Chains A and B, each alone.
Chain A
Amino acid sequence: MDLLRFATAGSVDDGKSTLIGRLLYDSKGVFEDQLEAITRATVNRAAGPVDLSLLTDGLRAEREQGITIDVAYRYFATPKRKFIIADTPGHEQYTRNMATGSSTANLAIVLIDARHGPLVQSRRHTFIAALLGIKHLVIAVNKMDLVGWSAQRFTEIVDDFAPFCLKLGLTDVQFVPLSALLGDNVVTASINMPWFTGPTLLEHLEMVDVGADENHTALRFPVQYVIRPNSEYRGFAGQITSGIVGVGDAVVALPAGTRSKIARIDTFSGPIAQAESPQSVTLILEDEIDLSRGDLLVHDTVDPQKNPWIRKDFDAHLVWMDSQPLALGRPYLIKHTTRTLRAWVTGVAHRLDVNSLEEEPTTTLQLNEIGRVHLQAAQSLVLDAYQDHRRTGSFIVIDPLTNATVAAGLVCAQQPAVLTPSAAVALDRHSREHHFGHKSMILWMDGPNVDSTAQVADALARRLWQRGVQVLRPLEREIIEITGNSLDPAAANRLQGLCSLLLEAGIVVVICGGPAGEPTRLTLQDGLAQEDFAQFLVHATADLPHLGAANGALKVAAEDAEAGAQHIIQFLVDKGFFATNRVMGAGEGI
């Protein structure tokens, strides 16, 4: 006899509690004294006949208000299987409860009222089940008695809802027409619906094969506890979360990367040759390697597809479960397998609208919202994609002040490119521009009066600096020292090389060309990208209307240097020179 864990979702009106009550009652999972207690409770509430839904209401507050507050667990067994039901209420807290109930389930039952067909919440529940990695879905089309046991109505609902399930990647979806109130197709086949030839709900639950859900190939063993009764014995205790391990297997301890072999697999009843997920065992290694709680043992394989990621920054979906919304940059704790460490959410890519499945831009997540975020951890984590490895791809987020569990995390399958340590030091121009919050450019100043042009250039450099811009304002002689005589054509090429380097460094360079600078400007402008170069013509106001300005050069009045500089800055702002938001916003860098 094996174990099947399933979650049920639906709201009060779908008859979910009645369905569970019926399942328990007809499979003899309800006891007479429980029935007697709910009969008493029914009388207290002056209701009609015995209400099976009362079997699943646990707390006094719930019975008084006629609602379900929290996930409740129910148990029953048939000769074929033992079942654990995570019964999740369908009202306000649905996302949090549904995610909790689904996190340990192999299968989910979503209820649809035959009269109404799939509602927004049916899609919502199905989506959350799919997000939480549930591979087997049962759509219980309930209240068939109220639609005259109509085969046509059932087919309409299947045709309506099946494509949605397929879109979510759910391939094992079983539709069952039933009446929880009357018991049709719950445990015993319905005589009212002879047209339905599929299994009853319980038959399906007994038969459904969940063995293939487990990843049987890639080993994951988070070290949980070290058993060391004496100097001779050093056992690494833990639960295999994925795959199979055998004596003699070559293993690697991550994140350190140390290698060893499995010398023995110990259990209380004696050593075994092989163990598989989800067994709890104690592994003895051949070598005395440094290994402790929080480390992960995997097989020593050259196939990178089978290896987990080792990274500090990663993308994940968060299901936010706290009334206090997510705060960017605030330190949280994350518990992933057997490790707890500090981490920050550095950006929110989007929020998922669980009703429309649309991605919406946002910078935070509220209670019961789901979003894709970018996280930065204080130390390296050994991660898998949630869709491939449920246990090593999931984590919880804890508020270090209140100790509350504020979110559930699911590691995304697609991760941003890793910045290797060397790459992180040798930042490229894009990263620097992003960091500085502005573009890097060559600003070329021309004018008949060398002094007034230089004054505008000085004012411009100062004002840019005050706005946080990384700006360089080399004097003409400083440029000549580097490039040589400005009349030499090779000097212009050298200047262009220097400017390219400064652009790569994310720097803004203000250069005064002077009367003899025209050939140099032409060479420079030819060699640089158009958006990297801007020319400004500094002239007396009276002359400005008569000036011809090529290549979009801006005409600037020479009389007032400060006003001229401000004019140039406004021009740059209009051109999108400054980043709109220096903090990484929605979608950026994700």
Chain B
Amino acid sequence: MTHLEALESESIHILREVAAEFERPCLLFSGGKDSIVLLRLAEKAFRPGRFPFPLLHIDTGHNFKEVIEFRDFRAAELGERLIIRSVQDSLDAGRIVEKAGQDNSRNRMQIPTLLDAIAEFRFDAIFGGARRDEEKARAKERIFSFRDQHGQWDPKNQRPELWSIYNGRIHPGEQIRVFPISNWTELDIWQHIHAEALAIPSIYYAHQRSTVIRKGMVLPISPLLPAQADETPQLRTVRFRTVGDATCTACIESSAAHALDVIKETAVTRVTERGATRVDDQVSEASMEDRKRAGYF
């Protein structure tokens, strides 16, 4: 059995455990590559049946248009139900207030919208596509990650997780965040995309884009991320390693036009996925840990 088959089997087992043990699960689907892999794994776990859960997207309003288009296309292609809740609605309703200034990422701001959606549908288990290789705090999180009534993660009070036996017991109002691809790395994701010939948003592959270099990162210029006065945007051949909030997601210079090219680049890269592309993670060494404690994925 190859390492990819072993990882797939583990993920399928996790998906089925949740489907069997929870009343109202949902799967977070953003149109990004990790959640695309998650959907393929769900197909492997439940076809020819339907998914025993809806898909949920927390729309920050700061998304790349190609990714949103792909999200809708893929959900329709699968014939599964997609629920969308938007940060903009939460802003309009006064549930959250936008921070002024240059750092106007909506990564943190999507937390209340996510928690509202969980409360609205009374979701008791929420699948996410987070991987442990992404970030230090994620490396310590369980596959079944217990969250209290406020969605908060307590890293010092996690349930021991042994073998493949997952403890999904919760009291009303509490929830479990489930990470079926915890043990996958960025390279595994790309190998899977290649092996399964999965369609992904075009911006994951090399394309021409107007960019500036800021703090050593290649930033895509858009109405959400305008060039500053002293910057002159240049057309570069780039691709995205991750597609998060468009105000704080950098791309990398690359000519990789296919999954195989990306695999070759990923195998030799010397910079992590988030390190290369997530401006917000650099603010403090513990950014992710803090967000998770507040209810983030």
Contact = CB atoms under 8 A, between A and B. Distances in A.
Interface of A: 1-3, 28, 31-34, 37, 40-41, 57-61, 63, 69-75, 77, 81-82, 84, 96, 99-100, 103-104, 224-225, 227-229, 233, 235, 237-239, 267-268, 276, 278-280, 293, 321, 333, 335-338, 390-391, 394-396, 398, 403-405, 408
B185 A228 contact: no
A321 B162 CA distance: 11
Interface string B32-68: 0000000000011111111000000000000000000
A227 B49 contact: yes
B231 interface: no
Contacts of B2: 1-3
Nearest to B6: A3
Given A73-B139, A229-B49, A279 B1 contact: yes
B202 interface: no
- Specify which of A72, A225, A276 lies most central, judged by the most chain B CB atoms within 10 Å of its CB: A225
Nearest to B43: A268
Given A279-B9, A335-B165, A233 B48 contact: yes
B160 interface: yes
B170 A403 contact: yes
Contacts of B120: none
B228 interface: no
Contacts of A391: 163-164
Interface residues of B, number: 57
A171 to B, nearest CB: 23
Contacts of A104: 162-164
Contacts of A280: 8-9, 12-13, 16, 44-45
- Specify which of B6, B162, B169 lies most central, judged by the most chain A CB atoms within 10 Å of its CB: B162
Contacts, number: 165
A321 B160 contact: yes
Given A58-B136, A391-B163, A408-B162, A278 B1 contact: yes
B158 A70 contact: yes
B182 A394 contact: no
Contact of A77 (B140, B159, B164, B185): B185
B215 interface: no
Given A31-B275, A69-B156, A391-B164, A403 B171 contact: yes
B99 interface: no
B160 A96 contact: yes
Interface stretch (B81-89, B218-226, B243-251, B264-272): B264-272
B167 A396 contact: yes
A113 B289 CA distance: 33
B188 interface: yes
A85 to B, nearest CB: 10
B27 to A, nearest CB: 15
A39 to B, nearest CB: 12
B235 interface: no
21 contacts: A1-B2, A31-B270, A31-B272, A32-B271, A33-B272, A33-B275, A58-B136, A59-B286, A60-B285, A70-B158, A75-B183, A82-B3, A103-B163, A235-B48, A268-B47, A278-B1, A278-B9, A280-B16, A337-B165, A396-B167, A405-B162
B13 to A, nearest CB: 5
B165 A395 contact: yes
Contacts of A229: 48-50
A322 B156 CA distance: 13
Nearest to B167: A405
Given A239-B13, A267-B44, 19 more contacts: A40-B285, A61-B155, A71-B140, A73-B182, A74-B133, A77-B185, A103-B162, A104-B162, A225-B20, A227-B47, A237-B45, A238-B13, A276-B1, A278-B1, A280-B16, A391-B164, A398-B169, A405-B167, A408-B160
